Structure 1
Amino acid sequence: MTAAGAPKLVIVGGGYLGSDLAKSLDAVMDVTLIERASHFTHAPAMIRAMVDPALLDRALIPYDGLLSRGRVIRGEAASVDGGGVTLTDGTRIAGDYIVLATGSANAAPFKSATGDIEGLRADAARWNAALRGASRVLIIGAGAVGTELAGEIAHAHPDKTVTLVASDPALFPGFPAKLGASLAAKLQAMGVKVITGARAASLPGRDQPEGGTVTLSNGAAIEADLIVPAVGSRPLTSVADTLPDVGRAADGRVAVDGYLRPSSLPNVFAAGDIAAAGDAMTIVAISRQKPWLEKTLKSLAGGKRIEGLKPYAPWGEKAPILVPLGPRRGSSYLMVATLGDWVTRMMKGRDLFLTKYNKLLGRA
């Protein structure tokens, strides 16, 4: 049990940031994690699970083993204030510190927008069946999800025709040009047709697997048996919107100050995909935000004033990224250099961090 009188920490959202932060502070604070789903969803493995459904059991991890002292409450947060969080069923959970980490949702079935894990399993099965039956696959959107999925399909099903459409003139324009060029060349070597600088006039496949013809802004019309919309993530900000004086960034994320606070309430923080903290909506961003939050919350619980602590510093242009193209190939940018197949395979492609997150959540 946590020591009597330990500060109460309430975390809303059990994604990458929420789960890791809850685990790290479980021994020193009275932690309550509010999560609407029964299982943690490991997104990179869900991409590969579209071609290998056997991964689902390791990619969907129950929360039962996450905390040894604190508690995970399955529920939906309706509102938050300086004294705690109120759930949709009226339950009130008091907190001295509150962290909003409600994450994001995707168009294709790599996450559940509602927390329905059985529904997510069923969706994954439908998309896998559609993929197996398709000869021509069109992926619209060439961020990390779309690019990785193209590589996974090309690796597992080299007989299929795969087309990847990017709205930007090159892949991964926010990184050194060598990264995008390397990934494009490897995809093309795997048989993927990469189209850059074009937007789709329509976006089928948001609700269920479907095929059809998609017209691009460059005038091309592409016919496909399966169309996968991979147009990025949408931040889930409804709970944060119940705070006073909340602002929005241009991308729809919640504006935060230098201490990741989204409102005038000094003890409420926002992080991860919902926070416009200067980081991209990636797991890499969490790797920087979570240690800062852990250290900051420990300091505050110890009686220090936040004004005397270092503000959060985002990754900026040095943010690393790992982009596997199936279990063997890929390219990565790590701080100062673009690296290739071996590094990407050993760091991510081979295991997709499945061992790490199963261990984090207490599953052997």
Structure 2
Amino acid sequence: MSAKKNDDRKSIVVVGGGSAGVQIARPLSSKLDATKYKLILINPRPFRVLLPATLRMVVSNVDNLGTTKTALVPFDKIFHGENGIFVQDSVRSIHEKTLTLGSGEQISYDILILASGLAWADPIAFPDNAEDVKAYLARSHEKFANANSYLLVGGGAVGCELAGELKDIWPEKEVTIAHGQRLLFNETYSDRFRKSAADHLIRRGINILLNEIVRDLPSEAGPATVLTQSGLELSADLVLKTTGPTHPNTAFINSLDADILTSAGYVKVQPTLQLHKYPNIFAAGDIVEWKEQKQAIKAGAHAKIVTQNVLSYINGRSLKNYSSAFEAILVTNGKRGGISYFGLLWGLIFGGWFTSLLKSKSLLVPMFRKESGLV
């Protein structure tokens, strides 16, 4: 990107084109005065990879999800009118008032919004190079198709949803989930929900091993024999770590101030989602240190507060605080099943018909494409 000479507009830069970044950049593009403010969105790929669709996408080519017409959502319609600039690059480092990109180019900012998301392990460790994504998916499809048994180490949303996708395509193959806790998922959710989720999976022929912590998990997905902490030996043609994200994508933020991040790499924020000591820098989405589950719905809630607070900040108005709502989760079990939980009252649980209607069938792809200005 080359800046125009004599462009004295203030720059508002959003780093990251995931759920939070998209839901900040698009509304800002309609609310900012383009004669006074220049809005820039930076992302390594020219499209957003829809996380809820990735597990079905990597298992097989069903629904043709690995294209820019479905779950790889391009940014070409992200801004209202021409009120924004998309820059395809990564951010190498942050300094006061400037960013250094992976290409070496520097971009200045007056307001910075960090929404760089999380890094994931195989099978959803998508490469940053857009040209490599197609080959990554082809290798993944081949890997899953060639295995006759699967061991998924981790019984949270990733493990449970992947198990359901595998059974949709290959109902005769053996699928086992090994989970280190007494029930699936974690203590955020009620025991009743956690037991019901297991029942739904067992009815599909999925084996569930609880209180089994796997030792020495192979560094790469593939055929392996592993040992659990209790001494149980487990073998499968394909052993996968399905415990969730590996780390937040925040290493580049250390260059501004090492005290910004927690020891786990999450961004410390004030209730306004501003960084401590840096009122012109905001953070949103999965990288934020906040006591809540990391989910797209939370990223959307962050985005609303950040969008509103950025507008208030530039207009000299008081800012609003973010507060978590109740916990909720929609867990697919293939295209036609699943289970949902809403942490209201005594904990509301809904089964396959409801979950399929909301998520399992479409994986929210139409909704997310609409967020990016597409239909």
Give the TM-score of the pair, scaled to structure 1.
0.91
2:168 corresponds to which of 113, 138, 155: 155
Q: CA contact under 8 A between 2:154 and 2:180: conserved in structure 1?
A: yes
Deviation at 1:341, TM superposition (A): 1.1
Say if 2:31 is the partner of 1:23. no
Deviation at 1:339, TM superposition (A): 1.4
Q: CA contact under 8 A between 2:99 and 2:109: conserved in structure 1?
A: yes
Q: What are the within-5 Å matches in structure 2 for residues 52-201 of structure 1?
A: 52-53=60-61, 54-57=64-67, 58-67=70-79, 68=81, 69-112=83-126, 114-173=127-186, 174-201=188-215
1:348 corresponds to which of 351, 354, 359: 359
2:232 match: 220
Equivalent-residue separation in structure 1 for 2:93 and 2:133 (angstroms)? 26
Q: Which deviations, in whole Å up to 9, do the C-alpha atoms of 1:109-163 show, x marking residues without a partner?
A: 3242x51233232222212112112111111111211111011112221101000
Q: Which deviations, in whole Å up to 9, do the C-alpha atoms of 1:197-232 show, x marking residues without a partner?
A: 11111222x54x411111111211111011121122
2:338 match: 330
1:39 match: 47
Equivalent-residue separation in structure 2 for 1:271 and 1:332 (angstroms)? 25
Equivalent-residue separation in structure 2 for 1:228 and 1:127 (angstroms)? 12
**One-letter code of the match for 1:60?**
L
Deviation at 1:256, TM superposition (A): 1.7
Q: Which moved more, 1:147-156 or 1:80-89?
A: 80-89
Q: What are the within-5 Å matches in structure 2 for residues 300-315 of structure 1?
A: 300-304=313-317, 308-315=318-325
Q: Quickly say closer, same or farther: Cα 1:245–1:50, change in 2 above 3 A.
A: closer
What secondary structure is seen at the aligned counterpart in 1 of 2:23? Answer: helix
Equivalent-residue separation in structure 1 for 2:214 and 2:277 (angstroms)? 41
Q: Quickly say closer, same or farther: Cα 1:123–1:282, change in 2 above 3 A.
A: same
2:250 match: 237
**One-letter code of the match for 1:355?**
P
What secondary structure is seen at the aligned counterpart in 2 of 1:123? Answer: helix
| RMSD over equivalenced CA pairs, Å | 1.9
Q: Which moved more, 1:225-234 or 1:246-255?
A: 246-255
Deviation at 1:90, TM superposition (A): 3.3
Q: CA contact under 8 A between 2:286 and 2:295: conserved in structure 1?
A: yes
Q: Which deviations, in whole Å up to 9, do the C-alpha atoms of 1:231-277 show, x marking residues without a partner?
A: 22111111221222524435432222222233411111122121102
Same amino acid, percent of matched pairs:
29
Q: CA contact under 8 A between 1:84 and 1:98: conserved in structure 2?
A: no
Q: Quickly say closer, same or farther: Cα 1:262–1:303, change in 2 above 3 A.
A: closer
Equivalent-residue separation in structure 1 for 2:260 and 2:114 (angstroms)? 15
1:259 match: 272
Say if 2:17 is the partner of 1:14. yes
Number of positions where the alignment pairs a residue of Structure 1 with one of Structure 2: 353
Equivalent-residue separation in structure 1 for 2:230 and 2:15 (angstroms)? 43
Q: Quickly say closer, same or farther: Cα 1:87–1:327, change in 2 above 3 A.
A: same
Where in structure 2 are there 5+ consecutive unaligned residues? 1-6, 33-37
Q: Which deviations, in whole Å up to 9, do the C-alpha atoms of 1:33-75 show, x marking residues without a partner?
A: 0111122101111101123322211121222222232011011
Deviation at 1:13, TM superposition (A): 0.9
Equivalent-residue separation in structure 1 for 2:253 and 2:153 (angstroms)? 30
Equivalent-residue separation in structure 2 for 1:52 and 1:363 (angstroms)? 25
**One-letter code of the match for 2:365?**
L
Where in structure 1 are there 5+ consecutive unaligned residues? none
Deviation at 1:279, TM superposition (A): 2.5
Deviating 4+ runs (over 4 angstroms) = 4-7
**One-letter code of the match for 1:232?**
G
Q: Quickly say closer, same or farther: Cα 1:351–1:82, change in 2 above 3 A.
A: same
Q: Quickly say closer, same or farther: Cα 1:6–1:196, change in 2 above 3 A.
A: farther
Equivalent-residue separation in structure 2 for 1:119 and 1:89 (angstroms)? 18
Q: Quickly say closer, same or farther: Cα 1:95–1:252, change in 2 above 3 A.
A: closer
Equivalent-residue separation in structure 2 for 1:38 and 1:215 (angstroms)? 41
Q: CA contact under 8 A between 2:180 and 2:213: conserved in structure 1?
A: yes
Equivalent-residue separation in structure 1 for 2:208 and 2:333 (angstroms)? 14
2:368 corresponds to which of 337, 357, 360: 357
**One-letter code of the match for 1:149?**
L
Equivalent-residue separation in structure 2 for 1:278 and 1:84 (angstroms)? 30
